[in-house]
Amino acid sequence: MPKALIFDVFGTVVDWRGSITREVRTLAERKGIRLNAGKFANEWRSGYQPAMDRVRRGDLPWLNIDALHRLILSELSAKYQLNQLSEKEMDALNRVWHRLKPWPDSVRGLKKLKQTYTVSTLSNGNFSLLNNMAKHSQLPWDCIISAELFGHYKPDPETYLGAAKLLDLEPGQVMLCAAHKDDLLAAKACGLKTAFIKRPREFPPSVNLDLSFDKRFDFNAESIVDLADQLSSG
């Protein structure tokens, strides 16, 4: 059994799509801007992986996720008529990522797991973003571990192995819990245990997600509460 559970956050613990859609819709109405808030949220999120890849390849220096989100937001602003916002308003909008709402089971599931295990983030989100989000939504982390601490983004091995080392555990004593199979497979390749958490509503229905349970992972769960139940009966 693992001693520490480390969680992917965007999509696995919090609902970025719903949170951003709601907040941008409200902002647009207040400002009289016409935009498709759901499409905007998806496009903002889509810029994230390519932006991290630019850092990973060395085309960009190390930039944290706040900076990458801000870069993508600037690139999208003309298309969505957000360029009428001031720099200060754009900065405030960028902080929406600090205010993402948890899935309905997340807080309860983490509280249950915390009774037995160390529960931590292992997210590409920067440390302050993860800390602010936890304060905002009462996510009961024991500690915050961010890719920022290692100067590497997931799925670089430095992140998974770095988390185990910080916790002074062997990789096999640490389990990554995530809704994304590529993240889990990279952790597994480093020797970590893995738990797949199904999040069918992370992306819009038009996206063809692989939500199948998968024997390559140690656990497959319908939610964080379900994972806690499986672990306590296991």
- For binding to its own copies (CB under 8 A), which residues are involved? 66, 118, 126-128, 131, 134-135, 141-144, 148-149, 166-169
Task: Quickly tell me which residue has 């296991």 as its tokens.
Answer: 234
Residue 208 burial class via C-beta count within 10 angstroms: exposed 0-12, middle 13-18, buried 19 and up: exposed
The CA distance from 130 to 68, in Å, is: 15
Nearest distance in Å: CB 199, its own copies: 25
Amino acid present at 203: F
Nearest distance in Å: CB 13, its own copies: 16
Q: Which is nearer to its own copies, 107 or 169 (CB)?
A: 169
Nearest distance in Å: CB 59, its own copies: 24
234 C-beta neighbours (distance < 10 Å), count = 8
DSSP 223: S
Amino acid present at 144: I
195 by DSSP, 3-state: which? strand
Q: Which is nearer to its own copies, 94 or 220 (CB)?
A: 94
Nearest distance in Å: CB 137, its own copies: 12
**Helix, strand, coil abundance in the chain, percent, nearest 5:** 50, 10, 40
Q: Which is nearer to its own copies, 164 or 184 (CB)?
A: 164
Q: Which is nearer to its own copies, 151 or 200 (CB)?
A: 151
Q: Which is nearer to its own copies, 1 or 143 (CB)?
A: 143
Nearest distance in Å: CB 160, its own copies: 16
